[in-house]
Amino acid sequence: MTYDVHIIGGGLAGTEAAWQLGKRGFKVRLSEMRGTGERSPAHQGDGLAELVCSNSLRSDDDTANAVGLLHYEMRALDSLIMRAADKARVPAGSALAVDRDVFSDTIEAELTALPNLTLTRERIDTLPDAGLTIVATGPLTAASLAEKIGAATGADSLAFFDAIAPIVYAETVNMDIAWRAARWDKGAEASFALGSDGKDYINCPMNKAEYLAFREELLSGEKTVFKEWEANTPYFDGCMPIEVMAERGEDTLRFGPMKPVGLDDPRSVSEKFPKGRWPYAVVQLRQDNKLGTLFNMVGFQTKLKYAEQTRVFRMIPGLENAEFARLGGLHRNTFLNSPTLLDRQLRLKSSPHIRFAGQITGCEGYVESASVGMLAGIMTACELAGRDWAEPPRTTALGALLAHITGDAEADTYQPMNINFGLFPPIVTEKKIKKPARKLVYTERAKADLAPWLAGIA
């Protein structure tokens, strides 16, 4: 089959772009390297849109959270990623967490059912000289293609380290010590709607002595050694290794991923504390699959060596006999200096038949990656149909993220960015809006401005 668009990369951005084009009747060739016997250092299998780090697409609250608003906007555009996430959803309070296998299988089934889409398992080593192309190879682009992208852009790609958290078999958690509750006792309503009792997280408590001993082992445990060419590569703050956070101060973890606020330990109930007391620190585990057999360690991305992970993490009360379905890891990501290299339609300025999408553009996060793939697909569909492309309003999450990638950010200091309200135009009012209400004002404005734009997108 001849094709209208060639999409390179079958991750979140590539599959979303393929869906947006394919459902509009355009012929798509989707090339994915996995399935040829090759994989990136972070991938475990050959399924499309594999989630390699967390299984969470973060908050699904579209009234007080920027990523929840992005969920809302993507659903309004019939996002395949959001459709699959809703089908694969597992209890996680107000967060949208998914069963990884159901999520990937749903996406692959939906795409392969499109009669005008051809999925080809192949490695692409060069950028096409002609023909509309979307490059969505992600932060782990194969070295051969990365070299060609570097040559085409005339600039070295920037890089940072991303880390993966371990996954524990639920049956190996000692529930005589651990207990279940909502994350910081928030978001139970969302879980009730899914048929859960709202107690979606397993909590492993620590007293002060246990916490200090654990932190000491995090600091002294044997770590992955960087190669010489990786030595000056920074971490992305959103996936900071747990031991790197521990280096920043004795209480950094207690005010971060091990924060005990709102978590009443039912085993500490007394007359003075009828609900129980908060532990000194807590490790939380979040459900990772629909069966509830796997839980990942929230915020525990790590560069500890495998043997050290097993030893150190079994110091956590409740995990003394834990068995790990997957241990944590560290991988190097790359991204373009997009404000310099790409135009407002994500096209490479030096070769405008090529668009880039997803994390390689410098967005960070599953949902952000998929949303940029969505935009690239819709932009390309407009081009093929001979229609003018209208940018989403900058007051929307889609518009704010696109503007950041393609020009609002300072090129000299460009770094990967999650969607956040700091990317949105400020709210201008005569009276100062108090912080709790500000986010609602942002989301209400975005939804109002999104509606007329949606009417013009076929």
pLDDT in tens, 92-140: 999 999 999 999 999 999 999 999 999 999 999 999 999 999 999 987 7
Known binding residues: 9-14
Q: How far apart are CA 136 and CA 7, in angstroms?
A: 7
Structure confidence at residue 329 as a pLDDT band (50, 70, 90): confident
- The rounded distance, in Å, linking the Cα atoms of 398 and 74 is 8
What does the alpha-carbon distance between residue 346 and residue 114 come to, in Å, rounded to a whole number? Answer: 25
Phi-psi region of 299 (alpha: psi -120 to 50; beta: other; left: phi over 0): left
The token pair that represents 84 in the structure block: 């699959």
**Alpha-carbon span 445 to 315, nearest angstrom:** 48
Q: How far is 68 from 268, CA to CA, in rounded Å? A: 35
pLDDT number for residue 91? 93
pLDDT band at 229 (very low <50, low <70, confident <90, very high): very low
- Judge whether residue 337 has pLDDT over 70: yes
Q: How many residues are listed for the chain in this entry?
A: 458
- Rounded percentage of the chain residues whose pLDDT exceeds 70: 88
pLDDT of 156 higher than 70: no
Distance of CA 404 to the CA centre of its chain: 18
Residue range 45-66, pLDDT digits in tens: 779 999 987 899 999 999 989 9
Cα separation, 412 vs 404, in Å, equals 13
The predicted pLDDT at position 228 comes to 44
> Structural domain boundaries of the chain?
5-157+336-455, 164-332
Give the whole-angstrom CA distance, residue 290 versus residue 333.
29
Cα Dmax for the chain: 75
Dihedrals phi, psi of 363, to nearest 5 degrees: -85, 160
Confidence class for position 203, pLDDT limits 50, 70, 90: very high
- The token pair at 54 is 């967390």
Instruction: In whole angstroms, give the CA distance from residue 195 to residue 406.
Output: 42
Give the E-state strand segments of 155-255 in sequence order: 158-164, 167-169, 179-181, 201-206
Query: Residue 191 pLDDT > 60, yes or no?
Result: no
CA atoms within 13 A on the CB side of 345: 19
User: How far apart, in whole angstroms, are the C-alpha atoms of residue 206 and residue 414?
Assistant: 39
- Give the C-alpha separation, 60 to 76, whole Å: 14
How is the chain split among helix, strand and coil, in percent rounded to 5? 40, 20, 45
Give the other-Cβ count within 10 Å of 148's Cβ: 16
The reported pLDDT for the residue numbered 417 is 81
Q: pLDDT tens, 346-365?
A: 999 999 999 999 999 989 89
**Type and span of the H or E element at 89:** strand 89-90
> How would you classify the pairing of strands 5-8 and 95-98?
unpaired
Average pLDDT taken over every residue of the chain: 88
Q: What is the pLDDT of residue 432?
A: 77
Lowest-pLDDT range of 98-107, 244-253, 332-341: 332-341
Task: Pick the range with the lowest mean pLDDT from 123-127, 201-205, 206-210, 234-238.
Answer: 234-238
Binding residues for FAD: 9-14
The pair of three-digit structure tokens given for residue 305, joined into one six-digit string: 């060596």
Q: pLDDT band at residue 396, thresholds of 50, 70 and 90?
A: very high
Confidence tier at 426 by pLDDT (50, 70, 90)? confident
Tokens 């912080």, located at residue: 435
Cβ(92)–Cβ(29) under 8 Å?
no
Neighbours of 223 (CB within 10 A): 17
Q: Which of 27-36, 178-187, 291-300, 340-349 has the highest mean pLDDT?
A: 340-349
More confident residue, 221 or 290: 221
Q: When comparing pLDDT for 453 and 329, which is higher?
A: 453
Task: Give the three-class secondary structure for 371.
Answer: helix
Predicted confidence (pLDDT) at residue 406 exceeds the cutoff of 50 = yes
Fold topology of 5-157+336-455? FAD/NAD(P)-binding domain (3.50.50)
The per-residue pLDDT for 292 is 87
404 pLDDT above the threshold of 80: yes
184 pLDDT more than 80:
no
Listed in sequence order, the DSSP H helices in 53-141 are 66-76, 80-87, 100-112
pLDDT at site 230: 46
In CATH, what class is 164-332? Answer: mainly beta
Check residue 346 and report its DSSP letter.
Answer: S
Predicted pLDDT at 12: 97
Question: Position 280: which residue type?
Answer: Y
Confirm if 223 and 306 have CB atoms less than 8 A apart: no
- Say if CB 403 and CB 43 are below 8 A apart: no
Query: In a 10 Å sphere around its CB, with 0-12 CB exposed, 13-18 middle and 19+ buried, how is residue 7 labelled?
Result: buried
More confident residue, 224 or 211: 211
User: What is the arithmetic mean of pLDDT over 404-424?
Assistant: 82
Query: pTM score, two decimals?
Result: 0.76
Residue 231 has pLDDT above 60, yes or no: no
Identical fold between 5-157+336-455 and 164-332 = no
Q: What does the alpha-carbon distance between residue 169 and residue 313 come to, in Å, rounded to a whole number?
A: 13
pLDDT at residue 127 in the model: 93
- Reading the block at residue 430, the tokens are 């005569």
Residue 192 pLDDT more than 60? no
* Separation of alpha carbons 317 and 178, rounded Å: 7
